[in-house]
């Protein structure tokens, strides 16, 4: 494997000195780019795109050709694990993901098997190794998974949900059933992420998209507990370097201290948190990733630059900040605005790394 030409992102996650603040965007390979839409059309549909390692590699690299990004992220979906468990994933146009076979009873949960990442999820591993090879050491490759709680919400609800009625009913009425499901998912995520590392991922991220839907105590019991189990089981060094782990709970501002105690290297922040406050609370323990509101990219470019400067000033001097959006980039953003955002981070951040 070639040496990394730009390891700014990995260094910032480990709180090592950098020359400027690294930046990448959640969903940077996505529908706001015309070249992505063309490749997706060629694939036929979203899951066909995920399952074709050459096309998954192509869309991963597209934003890097356009922008001076400091990391690539594997192009895949968080629902690959439930799909491999036999839940029958499909996508309804305009409706998002759906499962033919929801996991909504203890009998169904008991029958679930932990998938072999090199077998049932081999297409993801093929994508990881292909992307890593084609990156040629330019920037590091991020591997990722959904959190057990987030995956469970889709499996129990049978798709996306605004109210989480079915899974919350299970959580309070049959907690032992949900714990069994979350335990199997934690084992699945751990082996899946470790396989990504073995195939070339250089950093890992766990997306807990729906942790913010939980009460204070339920978050610790049904989400954080299982992310802790994963962190404890991950490969943390490979190819002679550390493999940093980032946890991101959307709506998770209440629990930053508890998340930082897991032993992860970094926390992702959504846009509802002031980064200055977040750094004061946990910045000596972990690096921080975030956290501009993705909708800010609709603003005129001078306003985007102003927001970037405010967030950089909020974090202040020193390493340990990876600039990102507070969630994924929206599909209707002008690619030129995304480019201006990335340029602004590099331009205005050098002064904080003297």
Taking the C-alpha atoms of residue 45 and residue 327, their distance in angstroms, rounded to an integer, is 23
Taking the C-alpha atoms of residue 142 and residue 198, their distance in angstroms, rounded to an integer, is 13
Q: Which of 58, 78, 196, 99 is nearest to 147 (CA)?
A: 78
| 327 belongs to an annotated ligand binding site | yes
Q: Which of 32, 36, 67, 154 is catalytic?
A: 154
| 31 belongs to an annotated ligand binding site | yes
| 77 belongs to an annotated ligand binding site | yes
Taking the C-alpha atoms of residue 46 and residue 187, their distance in angstroms, rounded to an integer, is 26
| 28 belongs to an annotated ligand binding site | yes
Those residues with Cβ within 8 angstroms of residue 20's Cβ, 6 or more apart along the chain or in another chain: 8, 345, 346, 349, 350, 353
Q: Which of 31, 101, 220, 281 is catalytic?
A: 31
66 is catalytic: no
Q: Which of 70, 77, 104, 208 is catalytic?
A: 77
| 154 belongs to an annotated ligand binding site | yes
133 is catalytic: no
* DSSP label at residue 223: I
Q: How many C-beta atoms surround the C-beta of residue 184 within 10 A?
A: 21
Which structure tokens are listed for 233?
């089981």
| 350 belongs to an annotated ligand binding site | no
CA atoms within 13 Å, Cβ hemisphere of 44: 4
Taking the C-alpha atoms of residue 233 and residue 151, their distance in angstroms, rounded to an integer, is 18
**∠331-335-340 over CA atoms, to 5°?**
125
Q: Which of 40, 66, 220, 281 is catalytic?
A: 40
27 is catalytic: yes
Q: Which of 7, 8, 9, 27 is catalytic?
A: 27
| DSSP letters spanning 276-321 | HHHHHHHTTTSEEEEEE-GGGGGS-HHHHHHHHHHHHHHH-SSS-E
Taking the C-alpha atoms of residue 99 and residue 91, their distance in angstroms, rounded to an integer, is 9
Binding residues for substrate: 27-31, 77, 154, 209, 327
Binding residues: 27-31, 77, 154, 209, 327
The residues carrying an active-site annotation are 27, 31, 40, 77, 154
């Amino acid at each position: 494997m070639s040496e990394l030409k730009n390891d700014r992102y990995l260094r910032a996650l480990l709180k090592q000195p950098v020359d400027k603040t690294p930046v990448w965007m959640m969903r940077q390979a996505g529908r706001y780019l015309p070249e992505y839409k063309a490749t997706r059309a060629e694939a036929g549909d979203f899951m066909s795109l995920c399952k074709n390692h050459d096309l998954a590699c192509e869309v991963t690299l597209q934003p890097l050709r356009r922008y001076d990004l400091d990391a690539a992220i594997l192009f895949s979906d968080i629902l690959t694990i439930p799909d491999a468990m036999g839940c029958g994933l499909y996508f309804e146009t305009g409706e998002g993901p759906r499962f033919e076979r929801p996991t909504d009873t203890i009998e169904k949960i008991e029958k679930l098997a932990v998938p072999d990442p090199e077998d049932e999820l081999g297409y993801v591993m093929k994508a990881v190794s292909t992307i890593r090879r084609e990156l040629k050491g330019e920037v590091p490759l991020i591997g990722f998974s959904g959190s057990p709680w987030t995956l469970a919400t889709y499996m129990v609800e049978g798709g996306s949900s605004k109210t989480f009625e079915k899974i919350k009913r299970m959580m309070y009425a049959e907690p032992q059933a949900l714990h069994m499901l979350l335990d199997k998912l934690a084992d699945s995520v751990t082996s899946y992420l470790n396989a990504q590392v073995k195939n070339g991922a250089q950093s890992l991220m766990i997306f807990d998209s729906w942790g913010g839907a939980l009460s204070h105590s339920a978050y610790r019991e049904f989400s954080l507990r299982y992310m802790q189990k994963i962190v404890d089981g991950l490969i943390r060094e490979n190819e002679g370097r550390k493999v940093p782990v980032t946890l991101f709970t959307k709506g998770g501002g209440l629990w930053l201290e508890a998340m930082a105690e897991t032993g992860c290297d970094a926390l992702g922040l959504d846009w509802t948190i002031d980064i200055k406050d977040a750094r004061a609370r946990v910045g000596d323990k972990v690096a921080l990733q975030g956290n501009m509101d993705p909708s800010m990219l609709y603003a005129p470019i001078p306003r985007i630059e102003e927001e970037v400067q405010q967030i950089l000033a909020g974090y202040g001097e020193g390493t340990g900040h990876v600039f990102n959006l507070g969630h994924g980039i929206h599909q209707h953003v002008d690619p030129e605005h995304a480019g201006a955002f990335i340029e602004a981070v590099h331009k205005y951040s050098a002064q904080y790394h003297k």
